[in-house]
Amino acid sequence: MPLYRCVVPELFLFVSFLGVSNCAAEDWYRWRGPDGDGISRETDWKCDWAGEGPDIAWSRSVGTGFSSVVVKDDRVFTLGHVDDQDKVYCINVADGEIIWTFGYPAELDDRDFEGGPISTPTIDGDRLYVMGRAGELFCLQISDGSKMWGINVADEAEVRLPGWGFSAAPLVIGDRLLLNVGESGVLVDKHSGDLIWSSDDRECGYASPVLIPNSDPTVAVIASGKAYIGVDVQSGEQLWAERWLTSFNCNAADPIFHDGKMLLCSGYNRGAALFDIGGTTPELIWKSKEMKNQIHTSILYQGYLYGIDGDMEAGARLRCMDWATGEIRWSVDDLRPGGLAMADGKLLLLTEPGELIIAPATPDGWEPIARGQVLDGKSWTSPVLSGGRIFCRSIQGQLVCIDCRD
Amino acid sequence: MPIQRRSFLAGTAAAATLASAPAIHAASKNKQYRTALIGAGWWGMNILREAMAGGQTKVVALCDVDSDRLEINAEEVTDLSGDTPRIYRDYRELFEKEDVEIAIIATPDHWHALNALAAIQAGAHVFIEKPTGHTIGESQAVLAASQAADRLVQVGLHRRIGPHHVSGMKFLKDGGAGDIGLVRMFVHSRGGAEKPTRNSEPPENLDWDMYCGPAPLRPYCRRIHPGGFRHFLDFANGTLGDWGVHWLDQMLWWSDQQSPDSVHSTGGRPIAGQAVLNDEEQTTDAPDHQTATYEFDSFTATWEHRKFAGQGPEQTSIGCYFFGTQGTFHIGWRDGWTFYPADSKKQVIHQDAELQEPDGHNLKLLYADFLRAIETGSRPVADITVGHQATTLALLGMLSMKLGRSVRWDAGAQQIVGDDEANGMLRRKYRQPWSYPEIG
């Protein structure tokens, strides 16, 4: 079942601090973090939980859903479904107090899964962009949650909803907002919501759009139901389509780019493939059935992919795969992984039953250094580390803030 | 094992044939069987992979009503073997155009008989998934046709050959549990109320009319396909028609294929809720729990499944208990087999399962046995007579539950005794233009 999903490396006018060991708190302003790789650059956090267990600073109910959180200026934002509404929550990181909420009418739509919103909002300056499952798109003022504009982007673009609804995070590109809606995306003006271009009325996938680093003209790769498509962001033109079929049109993992190569990965026995994207169309380097990301995008770190392989309902595996060759280095089959993040060379694994496990990210194996129960109930959302705290969320809407500051 | 390749065709349908794709072959014997897979889904591909890994399979064709699945799975066949199978939407066209020596059939249950009969008519030996029919008459037709044409049919009852099943059965037949008076077969899982799934237009890649085939044409919803047909009674027979066939077969194996004198079953959907089927939405309609009692001359066998409450206080959630004078013998799935002596001072005896992962089957052994049977002209271990009998018992349970009374079964005559209404339920009405298979 595809779920919450979201953002992407936006290397647009973005000054990267790559390579600099940056200990300062870092805003996690979008899905998969500032670098769009699922890795926090923070180092000032600790996980010596022996004895007491993790320090849960606060716990808040944010409604049913799979949305992850974004964090800026000591405020944390997420989405959840409560009483016939999807609600956007703005919560004070320090004490867990709700600063504001913004609701819009929405169905829980819990056919086939628990329901509720499945995308993660995106922060851009003093604005928050929110995408609902049925195509609702809002621009909110971060300070007080007031609505700057709102549209239904599926209606505007006259395209159908995918089976489980829209799940991609909005991607800010300069003055534009790129959405995974329609066959190969929709671009709107981020200041007004006006449509700039749209794509054909075909099922979109569930992955968030990702820009190919250093591409000129800027190219985004967008998951449709049946392909990953290279799109010229300026014009919306499809430059190439890498056919990529799964059951249920469920392409949910974001493409990963590194060193002139692109990794695609889906569940339902699709598997993974690495492509050279140096030419006009992707050229296959290797493919493998050994990594099948049904929902979660893998994390690439020092030449190795760390990812969740297999069907979440049936019990997935945590695996380490060599980026260059596709060889599996290790696999842990009995963890019941629910979501994955990374910081300071360590994997942060949230298990489906709500345990948070910390282990060094190494191809040599899975050797946890800390673990603790942080949630009660099914958890399929990636944890987020920002400002020395780890945020974890269950499907039923328990959001906890774990204080890991030194 | 990752497949290294440096060739790529953007947007082409089936994968390009690549000289560099490594063929995966076991120690190859000379004979390569031209093999077609009908129903190229999850389980069909499990069988086909084992067939290919066995080294005597040349995949000539795949058939499915879902063009996406065909494309994905044809690509996988090419990756694994270097062969480029031709792809078909309609099995009739496949048998018309291809020279098939072995047909693997893994479609939804309501297609099994028509697919198998076409394969037999085309001269192929058949590896067919259980059950061997959606109604008893279909299974009877497959049995009769295969015998008349002298074609081998191996039924996908891999628990006939799995190592712990073989050793467990030896333990039982050697009298390890003493005299058996009662066999209890069961599968339990967790679950609750079922919410309807919204109907939608069938996906563009799915030939929904052909999917439904001889079954009623109902609105499409994604809960049905892929992989959800088992709990829609138009297409299958719920848990008893799925898991039940395996465990009934274990009981029949132990009893040397005896037949029950009478069958009685009840079940319903008190937890899942009333089945829904309208223009807007639908649910499954198979029972969320069911019990069935099979009365044999010298013992009683019961079936029980529920899709709620989980394992509960018991040690296991799946398998068969054989209750005997010496104690209780459990044969299971991932938990192997265990004997609990009636005399508590005696040691519990246990044997672990040996299964092929990720799906926990023993298809490799079953397929090898099938090929051995073809080569030697002997009977395969789970041949059609075996599969037909286990299928019949499952379907008699379904029939009794729907009918609301017990039925007496005459295995020789292949009929229900003295109940015209019940006998009428051995067949079903087919949707035009499909015709119900007749014997002879």
pLDDT at B4 over 70: no
Nearest to A179 by CA among A147, A143, A224: A224
Phi, psi of B316 (to 5 degrees): -150, 160
pLDDT at B394 over 50: yes
- B108 vs B112: CA distance, rounded Å: 7
pLDDT of residue A23: 52
Per-residue burial over B124-154, b = 16 or more CB atoms within 10 Å of its CB, e = otherwise: bbbbbbbbbbbbbbbbbbbbbbbeeeebbbb
Q: Closest to B223 (Cβ–Cβ): which among A112, A249, A326?
A: A112
pLDDT of residue B136: 98
Q: Provide the edge-to-edge strand list for the sheet that holds B415-416.
A: B349-351, B337-341, B327-331, B318-324, B180-188, B300-306, B289-295, B262-268, B407-410, B415-416
Shortest alpha-carbon distance between residue B299 and chain A (Å): 37
Query: What's the pLDDT tens digit per position in B200-238?
Result: 999 999 999 999 999 999 999 989 998 899 999 999 999
Tell me the mean pLDDT in the region B306-325: 96
CB B153 within 8 A of CB B129: no
Query: What's the pLDDT tens digit per position in B149-189?
Result: 999 999 999 999 999 999 999 999 999 999 999 999 999 99
Give A-chain residues touching B334 at CB under 8 angstroms.
none
Interface test with B, best of A110, A287, A294 (most B CBs within 10 A): A287
Nearest to A159 by CA among A199, A119, A187: A199
Structure tokens at A186: 């929709």
- B322 vs B319: CA distance, rounded Å: 10
- A333 vs A318: CA distance, rounded Å: 7
- B414 vs B381: CA distance, rounded Å: 22
Helix (H) or strand (E) holding B339: strand B337-341
Q: What is the DSSP string of A272-317?
A: EEEEE-SSSS-EEEEEESS--BSSPPPEEETTEEEEEEB-TTT--E
Q: Give the B window 211-250 contacts with A, CB below 8 Å.
A: 222-223, 226-227
Phi, psi of B169 (to 5 degrees): -65, -35
- A224 vs A244: CA distance, rounded Å: 9
Residues above pLDDT 90, as percent of chain B: 89
Nearest to B219 by CA among B276, B282, B274, B285: B282
pLDDT at B16 over 90: no
CA atoms within 13 A on the CB side of B276: 17
CB A400 within 8 A of CB A58: yes
Distance set, CA B242 to CA A247, B266, B338, B383 (Å): 22, 17, 24, 18
Give A-chain residues touching B227 at CB under 8 angstroms.
247
- CB contact (8 A) between residue A287 and residue B226: no
Amino acid at B267: G
Sign, CA torsion A119/A120/A125/A128 = positive
- CB contact (8 A) between residue A327 and residue B2: yes
Residue with the bigger pLDDT between B25 and B18: it is B25
CA atoms within 13 A on the CB side of B17: 6
Query: What's the pLDDT tens digit per position in B339-376?
Result: 999 999 999 999 999 999 889 999 999 999 999 999 99
Give B-chain residues touching A227 at CB under 8 angstroms.
11
pLDDT at B2 over 90: no
Check if B1 contacts A (Cβ < 8 Å): yes
Tell me the mean pLDDT in the region B281-295: 97
- B28 vs B16: CA distance, rounded Å: 25
Size of interface A-B (CB pairs under 8 A): 71
Shortest alpha-carbon distance between residue B44 and chain A (Å): 13
Q: Closest to A282 (Cβ–Cβ): which among B5, B8, B281?
A: B8
Check if B334 contacts A (Cβ < 8 Å): no
pLDDT of residue B104: 98
Say if strands A337-343 and A39-40 run parallel, antiparallel, or are unpaired: parallel
Interface test with A, best of B8, B70, B205, B221 (most A CBs within 10 A): B8
- A93 vs A77: CA distance, rounded Å: 10
Query: What's the pLDDT tens digit per position in B249-277?
Result: 999 999 999 999 999 999 999 999 999 99
Shortest alpha-carbon distance between residue A24 and chain B (Å): 40
User: Would you tell me the crossing angle of helices B42-53 and B67-81 to the nearest 10 degrees?
Assistant: 20
- CB contact (8 A) between residue B10 and residue A241: yes
Strand runs labelled E in B39-124: 57-63, 86-88, 102-105
How are the residues of chain A apportioned to helix, strand and coil, as percentages rounded to the nearest 5? 0, 45, 55
Structure tokens at A33: 């973090």
Mean pLDDT by 10 residues, chain A (406 residues): 36 41 77 98 93 94 98 98 97 98 95 91 98 98 98 97 95 98 98 98 97 96 98 98 93 98 96 96 97 98 98 94 98 96 98 98 98 97 98 98 94
* Residue B97 per-residue DSSP state: H
Phi, psi of B334 (to 5 degrees): -75, -15
Check if B195 contacts A (Cβ < 8 Å): yes
pLDDT at B34 over 60: yes
pLDDT of residue B358: 83
Give A-chain residues touching B10 at CB under 8 angstroms.
240-243, 281-282
pLDDT at B11 over 80: no
Q: Closest to B10 (Cβ–Cβ): which among A111, A240, A326?
A: A240
Shortest alpha-carbon distance between residue A12 and chain B (Å): 28
Residues of A with CB under 8 A from a CB of B: 110-112, 163, 226-227, 240-243, 245-249, 269-270, 275, 281-290, 310, 325-327
> Cα angle vertex A235, ends A232, A239, to 5°?
35
- B224 vs A250: CA distance, rounded Å: 16
Structure tokens at B341: 């002596």
Query: What's the pLDDT tens digit per position in B55-99?
Result: 999 999 999 999 999 999 999 999 999 989 999 999 999 999 999
Tell me the mean pLDDT in the region B414-428: 98
Give A-chain residues touching B195 at CB under 8 angstroms.
110-111
- CB contact (8 A) between residue A283 and residue B42: no
pTM beyond 0.75, yes or no = yes
Distance set, CA B406 to CA A141, B183, B243 (Å): 69, 19, 22
Whether cis (ω within 30° of 0) applies to the bond prior to B131 is: yes
Mean pLDDT, chain B, rounded, equals 93
All structural domains of chain B:
2-160+361-383+430-439 (3.40.50.720), 163-355+393-418 (3.30.360.10)
Distance set, CA A323 to CA A254, A262, A276, A298, B305 (Å): 15, 10, 12, 11, 45
Residue B377 CB contacts under 8 Å (≥ 6 apart), including other chains: none
- CB contact (8 A) between residue B358 and residue A246: no
Structure tokens at B400: 């009794």
Query: What's the pLDDT tens digit per position in B408-418?
Result: 999 999 999 99
Q: Provide the edge-to-edge strand list for the sheet that holds B86-88.
A: B86-88, B57-63, B33-38, B102-105, B125-128, B153-155
Q: Closest to B3 (Cβ–Cβ): which among A227, A275, A287?
A: A287
Give A-chain residues touching B72 at CB under 8 angstroms.
245-246, 269-270
